[in-house]
Amino acid sequence: MDNVTIRIPEDAAKIIEKLERAGYEAYVVGGCVRDSLLGREPGDWDITTSASPQEVKALFPRTIDTGILHGTVTVMENHVGYEVTTYRVDGEYEDGRHPKSVTFTRELSEDLLRRDFTINAMAYNPKTGVVDLYDGIGDLQRGCIRCVGVPEERFSEDALRILRALRFASQLDFEIEEKTFAAMKKLAPRLAQVSAERVRVELVKLLGGKRPEMLITAYETGVTDVILQEWNAMITTSQDNPHHLYDVGRHTIVTIQALHRDPAYQAADAHDRMVLDMAMLLHDAGKPKCLTVEEDGRQHFRGHPIASAEIAKEVLRRLKFDNDTTALVTLLARWHDCRFSIKADMDFSKAMRRIMNKVGSENMRYLFPIMRADIEGQHPDYRERGLAKVARMEAEYEEILRKKQCVSVRDLAVGGRELIAAGYRPGPALGDALERLLQIVLDDPEANDAQTLTAYATQWLAEETK
């Protein structure tokens, strides 16, 4: 394909030219070629070259030894790093990010052969055009995920590729070729040997893709049996209840799809999207454990948000998410149902301040899209009412913020220092008093002035010492 031109960043082109002038070969390769041919914006531009890492380092003034043993040197150009990797033949993969051993080669064709899918095994440079030895372009046109070479061998070398196939199918809205699919089913148990970090990266990309329903395919191929058994429990738990249309797993997929259509999700950055996707995935994960059939003959899931939160924490820890993400996703699973705590006879803004106190003001913005998407996944008869309630909650939340009303001990007009001045001693009683003051202020924001609160606290102290 010499008639295709790919627009590559100027600095990447400069690196390629410099390598060529020194007598080596160099190409952009992999994901960036695939994405360019699809008209998608590439995430990063990887360069592959016949030069050895030492030869690359000798040529460029600013380099970082990113993965020197595996042939990768990062070349810095105008403060942007380009990963330049020597052509290589991979040995077997180990339980890590990289193969156990690599052998460098001077042949581009050998480097392309080690890559996972035909659509990821293309290289490009302005002189040669696209190098496509395995009909990657044909598979791009057909929308097809196909292994380079014999699928069973490729998945045996590195089982993560099984999950990557599902991830690309979701991201690109592609189908998985038959032999590739059969090999995935056969070798799925081998995913048990792959590190949690690598699994996490692919799972997050799968969920954030165009077809999160590939998670159902992950169940059918036996992939989630190894990496996410909690999902198997969800997909095999029906919901015989008038509020619901689907089993827990399919309901969850519908909610993730609805979440992706939500303007707040679309405006969010990659990190926040990941948080929302993981929270949506696990919001009902506790339902299988909480299932009861009651006198009305229907299935109920009382207490499931608490169970979901426990499961979310466990899953995110196991997949080695960072602590902040784990805490946030756990919190969102815990409170995804909070709209039911506002009953018709309640003062709406009081109830909303209590919710904000539990969830934390700064976390509320994640909760609204989660609640809306959850409603989209339920029976349509309840949709309009549910969405109206969430809209009212969001409006009330904005209002509470605008009025700077107090929703946490931190926002009280008095703190430990003032109570000590009023005669309290540092210790648990002081904490209890602040908590009691907060309860007063959550009900009556007007009460949040130092004089009023000190008067309450002084009175309690007097009562106690009576």
**Residues contributing to the site for ligand ATP (CB under 6 A):** 30-31, 43, 46, 115-116, 120-121, 158, 160-161, 205
Closest of 170, 183, 177, 181 to residue 142, by C-alpha: 177
Nearest-approach distance from CB 82 to ligand ATP, in angstroms: 13
Instruction: Please tell me the count of residues contacting Mg ion according to CB under 5 A.
Output: 1
Residue 160 partner contact from ligand ATP, Mg ion, none using kind-dependent CB cut-offs of 5 to 8 Å = ligand ATP
Given the complex with Mg ion, which of 31 and 212 has the nearer CB atom?
Answer: 31
Residue 120 partner contact from ligand ATP, Mg ion, none using kind-dependent CB cut-offs of 5 to 8 Å = ligand ATP
| Spatial separation of the C-alpha atoms in residues 92 and 278, rounded to whole Å | 31
Given the complex with ligand ATP, which of 134 and 366 has the nearer CB atom?
Answer: 134
**Can you point out the beta strands (E) in 174-254?**
175-176
Nearest-approach distance from CB 45 to ligand ATP, in angstroms: 10
Q: What's the chain's Rg over C-alpha atoms?
A: 28
Nearest-approach distance from CB 92 to ligand ATP, in angstroms: 12
Residue 115 partner contact from ligand ATP, Mg ion, none using kind-dependent CB cut-offs of 5 to 8 Å = ligand ATP
Length of the chain equals 466
Q: SS3 for 97?
A: coil
Nearest-approach distance from CB 79 to ligand ATP, in angstroms: 20
Residue 161 partner contact from ligand ATP, Mg ion, none using kind-dependent CB cut-offs of 5 to 8 Å = ligand ATP
Given the complex with ligand ATP, which of 29 and 233 has the nearer CB atom?
Answer: 29
Residue 16 partner contact from Mg ion, ligand ATP, none using kind-dependent CB cut-offs of 5 to 8 Å = none
Nearest-approach distance from CB 338 to ligand ATP, in angstroms: 35
Nearest-approach distance from CB 116 to Mg ion, in angstroms: 12
**What is the distance of C-alpha 306 from the center of its chain?**
21
CA distances for 347 relative to 403, 447, 448, angstroms: 17, 17, 18
Given the complex with ligand ATP, which of 31 and 286 has the nearer CB atom?
Answer: 31
Q: Which residues contact 64 (CB under 8 A, 6 or more apart)?
A: 73, 74, 76, 81
Given the complex with Mg ion, which of 85 and 239 has the nearer CB atom?
Answer: 85
Which conformational region is residue 39 in: left (phi greater than 0), alpha (psi within -120 to 50 degrees), or beta? Answer: left
Given the complex with ligand ATP, which of 42 and 377 has the nearer CB atom?
Answer: 42
Chain positions 21 to 40 lying near Mg ion, rule: CB under 5 A, are 31
Given the complex with Mg ion, which of 44 and 65 has the nearer CB atom?
Answer: 44
151 binds Mg ion (CB under 5 A): no
Burial (CB < 10 A; 0-12, 13-18, 19+), residue 14, is middle
80-86 vs 88-90, strand pairing mode: unpaired
Given the complex with ligand ATP, which of 25 and 46 has the nearer CB atom?
Answer: 46
80-86 vs 46-49, strand pairing mode: parallel
Closest of 140, 100, 83 to residue 117, by C-alpha: 140
Given the complex with ligand ATP, which of 84 and 160 has the nearer CB atom?
Answer: 160
Q: Which residues contact 72 (CB under 8 A, 6 or more apart)?
A: 53, 66, 83, 84, 85, 86
Nearest-approach distance from CB 118 to ligand ATP, in angstroms: 10
Closest of 391, 270, 399, 278 to residue 331, by C-alpha: 278
DSSP 417-446: HHHHHTTPPSSHHHHHHHHHHHHHHHH-GG
Nearest-approach distance from CB 345 to ligand ATP, in angstroms: 51
Residue 116 partner contact from ligand ATP, Mg ion, none using kind-dependent CB cut-offs of 5 to 8 Å = ligand ATP
Residues that bind Mg ion (CB under 5 A): 31
